[in-house]
A and B are shown apart, each in its own frame.
Chain A
């Protein structure tokens, strides 16, 4: 390393270390956001308020209703009649209503069987569907017990037995936290660098740099390296929180995780630099950084929504979101292990994006004033 570059790096490190906001972005922000999200974001419903209406009390109806009272998924509430339960459903006091009609016990003995009516509030379709699934599970359990007691055949020729790999307890935190780490690092990387060059353009300090013998490549290295070190520190903090605070298992190897994080951080920093070199104006750079990072990483990275179920055109768009590759790598590394079939293609994509962004940023930095 030549002396010029060393001097430049020294200056940039000092600049970063003496600017409290970069330290805050790299360490405080990830810690704060991960803490908030890790505890706040969960898909696991428990104590779902469910209305129960038994129009005509009977031993059978009570045994069915009893299933809900034992389950930790439901917080059942009894209603005297259908109308009051439906009113509570409309007002959002319960998420669903189970109605056992007056002839429930009688029709259980009949040929057609007795209907159990379930009405769910469909506004949140996903929660509604999960609720339907839970009620169906409760119904199946009850049926098995009931028929076992009466020594009758189950009336269900094919039985489904499901086994969930990697996350048998279906803990949503196990996949959300790795995804949140990726969002976090997207924000950190872009925020650290998005305003840097734009600010130097605006304040004219870059002009001072242009008259020195340093090359643009050296300026770029000088800008990226200190933020890279900071960003890796933030990443280490996030991973430590994921492992020890949120108890997400890490089944892959630590070194693969480090290498992939380094690649991703280069992409994020490169994108931030490209934004700030192109905008040359802090206001615009800030707006682009807000728009181009958070929402795409949140909605298009596959951390929340299944990419394969999106329309083809939108799937193409997701290929432009670096977080997409990182989320795939992180979810696999944390939950499944070193699966090279997933890691290699995604890491390759990250490498290409890093080269693209840094290369573009380099090309757009001229040693000229306009």
Chain B
């Protein structure tokens, strides 16, 4: 039996890697994608382009303007002289934010009255807008604290002291890069498995495979191995790069992480093979792969929290293996979560893997044209 499986595994690897083009697309793009996406996927803004409209021109106004131009998060692009200049600047996306100081800004400050700074933000991307406003609020808060200290004013009776666990500087890259472990391994295993059976179906060689003494579950092992090996290598490379290239701390144990990775890969392979054996043509398999993968990524909590989704969609995410794996990989990387906590994510993965793999094996024999 093992000999038969070995022969099939060798054949599967050959058909994946013999062709130069197919070898290339399995290996190179995921690595490039990791590097590009690793740098791209972040909600942190740097160098927010802004303009300032100082209608006061007083001492205090200039001090506030200096606080902004001195901040590494802001990049002064334009000094506005007239109200009419503001709209085109924002419309054309030249600046994200316009600071407007009221005419009697310095005077009011000196008199101890609250002076107002208006911040106009381009809300086309409301998340970016909200982050930019938060950055501006931080600069102003620091300015206020300094002003109070310098002028011997009474501080507010209560102040906020914030601290973040697991990610003290709140770098959003720390959130996304572990997520890429799941995302990229999912894509590469889906690519390798979802087309594999359909290709043989279309070329008619799958019938030949079915008349060999191989049993369905042996075919299953043979078909699953290349995707599993490629996925493991890919996942390990991403984990290594996440830690050593991008500097994301890996707090937890590798054992739990790899247990999660194995179960996740099995689930992904099961889905890929099931899609592939349901499809009659390669085009259908490709379509099926997409129709699973795209929602699986978007609804996994990779970028937008599952808690924000409506109830019905949240129920749908329960069958998404990526959802569970993202919790595992982020938990292990950032929180050092132990097996006892992550087991709640691991058993659904095992369940999905078991179900889809047996469905695929069953479909091998029972799905005829």
Whether the Cβ atoms of B124 and A166 lie closer than 8 Å is: yes
Establish whether residues A299 and B37, one from each chain, have CB atoms under 8 Å apart when the complex forms: yes
Considering the complex of A and B, which 9 residue pairs feature the smallest CB-CB distances, nearest first? A122-B167, A122-B164, A341-B92, A155-B156, A167-B123, A164-B123, A125-B172, A125-B170, A126-B43
* Chain B residue at minimum C-beta to C-beta distance from A184: B294
Pair B291/A29 contact, Cβ less than 8 Å? yes
Distance A328 CA – B91 CA, assembled complex (angstroms):
12
B241 to chain A, nearest CB (A): 15
| A residues less than 8 Å from B161 (CB atoms) | 115-118
B81 beta carbon closer than 8 Å to chain A: no
Distance in angstroms from A218 CB to nearest chain B CB is 24
Decide if B88 touches A341 in the complex (CB within 8 Å). Answer: yes
Instruction: Write out the residue numbers on chain A whose beta carbons fall within 8 Å of the beta carbon of B309.
Output: 39-42
Question: Which B residue sits closest to A157, measured CB to CB?
Answer: B147
Interface residues of B, count at CB 8 A = 115
Asked if A314 lies at the interface with its beta carbon under 8 angstroms from chain B, I say: yes
Residues in chain A near residue B140, CB distance under 8 A: 158, 160
B21, B96, B158, B298 pick with most chain A CB within 10 angstroms: B158
Contact in complex: B133, A281 (CB < 8 Å): no
Q: Check B153–A163 contact: CB distance below 8 A.
A: no
In the complex, are the beta carbons of B129 and A167 less than 8 A apart? yes
CA distance A289 to B293 in the complex (A): 13
From A5-13, A208-216, A300-308, give the one contacting chain B.
A300-308
- B294 x A305 contact (CB < 8 A): no
Interface of B is mostly: helix
B-binding segment of A168-176, A239-247, A257-265: A168-176
- With A160-B140, A282-B282, A306-B125 as contacts: A36 and B295 at CB distance below 8 Å: yes
Given contacts A122-B164, A155-B156, A295-B33, contact A162 B305 (CB under 8 A): no
Q: Is the CB of B330 within 8 A of A36?
A: no
With an 8 A cutoff between CB atoms, is B313 at the interface? yes
With contact pairs A29-B291, A143-B158, A167-B126 given, residues A158 and B153 touching in the complex (Cβ less than 8 Å): no
A117 to B159, CA, bound (A): 9
Cα A341 to Cα B89 with chains together (Å): 10
Complex contacts, A361 vs chain B, CB 8 Å:
none
Tell me if A70 is interfacial: C-beta within 8 Å of chain B.
no
How many chain A residues sit at the interface, stated as a range, is 35 or more
Asked if B83 is at the interface (CB within 8 A of a chain A CB), the reply is no
Q: Mark A267-294, 1 if CB is under 8 A from B, else 0.
A: 0000000000001011110111111101
Is the pair B147, A287 in contact by a Cβ cutoff of 8 Å? no
Min CB distance A109 to B, Å, is 8
Find chain A residues with CB under 8 A from B328 CB. Answer: none
A:28-58 near B, CB below 8 Å: 29, 32-33, 36-37, 39-46, 48
Which residues on A sit within 8 Å (CB–CB) of B133?
133, 160, 162, 164
Stretch at the interface among B22-30, B218-226, B361-369: B22-30
Q: Are A306 and B171 in contact (CB under 8 A)?
A: no
Partner of A199, one of B39, B88, B283: B283
> Cα distance A299–B191 when bound, in Å?
19
Instruction: Kindly state whether residue A191 has any CB partner on chain B within 8 Å.
Output: yes
Q: List 30 A-B contacts (CB under 8 A).
A: A40-B304, A41-B304, A113-B155, A114-B158, A117-B161, A120-B164, A125-B171, A126-B175, A143-B158, A147-B157, A154-B156, A156-B144, A157-B112, A157-B114, A158-B147, A164-B123, A167-B126, A174-B126, A195-B283, A284-B21, A287-B22, A291-B25, A291-B33, A295-B183, A302-B125, A310-B42, A314-B36, A331-B125, A336-B124, A342-B91
Residue in contact with A115 in the complex, picked from B91, B159, B175, CB distance below 8 Å: B159
With contact pairs A122-B170, A153-B112, A172-B127 given, residues A36 and B313 touching in the complex (Cβ less than 8 Å): yes
User: For the complex, what is the distance from the CA of A335 to the CA of B130, rounded to whole Å?
Assistant: 16
Q: Give a binary string over B113-157; 1 marks a CB under 8 Å from any A CB, 0 the rest.
A: 011111111111111111101101100100110011000011111
Q: Is the Cβ of B167 less than 8 Å from the Cβ of A308?
A: no
Do A283 and B282 touch across chains, with their CB atoms under 8 A apart?
A: yes
Contact residues in A for B208 (Cβ distance below 8 Å): none
Check if A294 sits within 8 Å of B165, measured CB to CB: no
Expressed in whole angstroms, the Cα–Cα distance for A164 and B174 within the complex equals 29
User: How many Å lie between the Cα of A255 and that of B7 in the bound state?
Assistant: 60
How many Å from the CB of B296 to the closest CB on chain A?
A: 11
Chain A residue nearest to B286 (CB atoms) is A286
Segment from B44-52, B256-264, B350-358 that makes contact with A: B44-52
A365 within 8 A of B: no
Tell me which of B96, B163, B298 contacts A117 (CB under 8 A): B163
Q: Hey, which chain B residues are within 8 Å of A286, CB to CB?
A: 191, 195, 282, 285-286, 289
Contact assessment for B116 and A161 in the assembled complex, using a CB-CB cutoff below 8 Å: yes
Contact B308 A44 (CB under 8 A): yes
User: Once the chains bind, are A124 and B199 in contact (CB under 8 Å)?
Assistant: no
Q: Is the CB of B42 within 8 A of A305?
A: yes
User: Does A298 count as interface, using CB distance less than 8 angstroms?
Assistant: yes
B123–A281 CB distance below 8 A: no
Contact across chains for B157 and A123 when beta carbons are under 8 A apart: no
- Complex contact B156–A156 (CB within 8 A): yes
Complex interface: chain B residues within 8 A of A43 (CB):
126-127, 304, 308
Cβ of A339 < 8 Å from any Cβ of B? yes
Partner of A290, one of B148, B289, B304: B289
B44 surroundings in chain A (CB, below 8 A): 125, 309
| C-alpha spacing A323/B360, complex, angstroms | 35
The chain A residue sitting closest to B29, CB to CB, is A291
Interface residues as binary, A115-151 with B (CB distance below 8 Å gives 1, 0 otherwise): 1111111111111111011011001000100110000
Q: Is A311 located at the chain interface by the 8 A CB criterion?
A: yes
Please measure, in the bound complex, the distance between the C-alpha atom of A153 and the C-alpha atom of B152, giving whole angstroms. Answer: 13
Enumerate B265-301 residues with CB–CB distance to A below 8 Å.
281-287, 289-291, 293-295, 297-299
Contact A163 B167 (CB under 8 A): no
Contact, CB under 8 Å: B158 / A159: no
CA distance A284 to B164 in the complex (A): 46
In whole angstroms, how far apart are the Cα atoms of A314 and B173 in the complex? 15
Q: Is the CB of A24 closer than 8 A to any CB of chain B?
A: yes
Query: Is A195 a contact partner of B123 (Cβ separation < 8 A)?
Result: no
Contacts of A205 in B (CB 8 A): none
Give complex CA distance A139, B159 in Å. Answer: 8
